Structure 1
């Protein structure tokens, strides 16, 4: 017969608590430590100008990463975001410089392109049952080729010579260029770029959408257990398609801002957008031990990448070492997220 008063269960080992704290706060500690290291190792790293430069450098990749986060939430992945952004950059430049359209029409055209690409990706994945990586990889190559056809691989700028020998006499709209070059007064005159404001606004928007709306919570339900969500009556296919539409639109916004910043359609400007955006979205898994895609973590991940690259640049680290360092940091972040958390659940 068991005793009436059973002995109390022993307390969990201290190492379990330490592991939990490492999972939850390890990345934040790493971020703070990195800031302190660069602050002590370089001059001017903590100045307002340096902070704004960091935010501006990650604003476009951060916006793209937020789009990737939407697809990760539903259990998908979008490899076409970099090519969508570059296509939007080239399309907006072509619309104004070659076709002579105004800036707002060019913006609307690019947003439509992003939404259409998102729908196509979603249909391929949901209805044609093409794996998400393959579908979006194919779209990436398709767009990389498509954006170069109208100019035969040339970048787009005012006064350029077209393949048929004519000269493109259109110009970039001042309102359009303001999207990439205007700065707001914040503590200091002309300090805060529009692109940074856009990143903050979109991060808050997608965070609220995913965390506090029924649509966003259902997207998480689809990503965590698609079959259960389907049995509960959720339109799973529609949610997944909408996730790719969000990703495409956000990528187009990034391309618009890039074109407005450069004042031209530079065919090679978007080469690193995909890798940096994916890194920011995946690093977001490690922020506060979330272990899931989330907008707040993605924004912190983008900031982390920007701080890391800015610090390395100010320390005169060779440019060819930066990708290696980013990869090492990403691996460490994912170890904190998955390996340690799985061991803690055993």
Structure 2
């Protein structure tokens, strides 16, 4: 290879490396400029708050996927776990007239049971994670449908026996899904997970496992224990996302968490390339969610039909995956 070819190769690599590290941020800046020029309402304070509020639930659920990715796994059941969580937490108020603490606690316990099922089947039975969580995605989705009897749970709903539900959703619970608390919860979740994965030995162990599981095992790291922890945390954050969703809409709609799966997966994978991290990370996931939120909000302002949104989101995800896997070569 000639010297000129070597220089050209290095230049091309540097350009690709730059785009890999900062492409997401540059895309966000370009979208901000484009949508701002297209609509005077885009960069208003109200709309910025709307974007942050819209990405809060996606980000929290995506953080769960991020943790599962950190150990080399993948959790497709988070959307269904969120659906179960919404159904349980709202039903605790409406059907059983429980207080906020009990409603949230029951939802968290059930979500952790779901995470434990995933962990047991993946870690102990050794079923491939994507296949197992695909199966449990349908199982948990069916559980949510069966529990709600295929109906929306809401205050003053008519029960199966013809009576009106007496339970009322507490005012304290209703505040969780409102601004600014919903945004604050998202930021706290991102910071906690970022610190956990980046600055604690447990987080570093999880990254080591994700990089080379066998090497981690040979070095004395309790691999199975951390993989179980990852799926428990994934279910936990999916549940928190579901609880926030329930507070925001004040009802438990049929499979309420399912639409968040694709956005959460996209946000987590986009995060791989942010800052050149090359691995799942909380800050990158937040940036990925912001990119998706800006896209959705801007396209709505441009009157793009809602049924075309998935084309855009799918394209963004495909591009993020292309960057991630090309970099790994």
SS in 1 for 2:145: coil
Structure 2 unaligned spans of 5+? 1-5
CA offset digits 1:282-305 (Å, max 9, x no partner): 111121222211111101000110
Distance 1:50 1:247 in 2: 30
- Aligned-pair CA distance for 1:271: 3.0
Distance 2:148 2:194 in 1: 39
Distance 2:255 2:328 in 1: 41
Contact map agreement 2:144 2:255 (CA 8 A) in 1:
no
Is 1:287 the counterpart of 2:284 in the alignment? Answer: no
Distance 2:313 2:245 in 1: 22
| Aligned partner (choices 18, 23, 37) of residue 21 of structure 1 | 18
CA offset digits 1:195-217 (Å, max 9, x no partner): 11111110011001000000000
Answer with 17-26 or 256-265: which moved more. 17-26
Distance 1:245 1:100 in 2: 28
Distance 1:150 1:112 in 2: 16
CA offset digits 1:223-273 (Å, max 9, x no partner): 111111111111100100000111111011011111111111111432311
Q: Could you say which residue in structure 1 is the equivalent of 2:118?
A: 121
Is 1:214 the counterpart of 2:201 in the alignment? Answer: yes
Distance 2:238 2:190 in 1: 13
Q: Could you say which residue in structure 2 is the equivalent of 1:90?
A: 87
CA offset digits 1:111-148 (Å, max 9, x no partner): 11121111111111000111111221221111111122
SS in 2 for 1:67: helix
Q: Could you say which residue in structure 1 is the equivalent of 2:127?
A: 130
Is 1:203 the counterpart of 2:190 in the alignment? Answer: yes
Q: Could you say which residue in structure 2 is the equivalent of 1:48?
A: 45
Aligned length: 323
Q: Could you say which residue in structure 2 is the equivalent of 1:156?
A: 153
Q: Could you say which residue in structure 2 is the equivalent of 1:67?
A: 64
| Aligned partner (choices 205, 214, 230) of residue 227 of structure 1 | 214
SS in 2 for 1:291: coil
Q: Could you say which residue in structure 1 is the equivalent of 2:102?
A: 105
- Aligned-pair CA distance for 1:178: 1.1
SS in 2 for 1:164: coil
**Structure in which a larger fraction of residues adopt helix:** 2
Distance 1:16 1:150 in 2: 54
Residues 218-297 of structure 1 aligned to structure 2 (within 5 Å): 218-297=205-284
Answer with 24-33 or 158-167: which moved more. 158-167
- Aligned-pair CA distance for 1:342: 4.9
Residues 333-344 of structure 1 aligned to structure 2 (within 5 Å): 333-339=320-326, 341-342=327-328
Distance 1:140 1:244 in 2: 13
| Aligned partner (choices 309, 318, 323) of residue 322 of structure 1 | 309
SS in 2 for 1:308: helix
In our comparison, the structure showing a higher alpha carbon Rg is 1
TM-score by length of 2: 0.94
Aligned CA RMSD, in angstroms, stands at: 1.5
Distance 1:150 1:116 in 2: 16
Q: Could you say which residue in structure 2 is the equivalent of 1:190?
A: none
